[in-house]
Structure 1
């Protein structure tokens, strides 16, 4: 199964994300990569 994820929408749901946007992007991508690996999924983040 594959998923299309709106990264900005997901990122903006976290408290304080706007204080360090580059770090928030990296954290989101790291967490999504781990999720995809554990679940055996294909993700596309836009």
Structure 2
């Protein structure tokens, strides 16, 4: 299930690493998206 969510995230959510976003200057909503993508990716790898 997490593999499917990870693919959807990749298509829909923005990639902040491609935009060279500095985490210290990221807004709270950007940090939330980063945390969500990290959570889903780590679960998909299991």
TM-score, normalised with respect to structure 1: 0.45
By relative contact order (CA 8 Å, sep 6+), the higher-ranking structure is 2
The structure richer in strand per residue is: 1
The structure richer in helix per residue is: 2
TM-score, normalised with respect to structure 2: 0.45
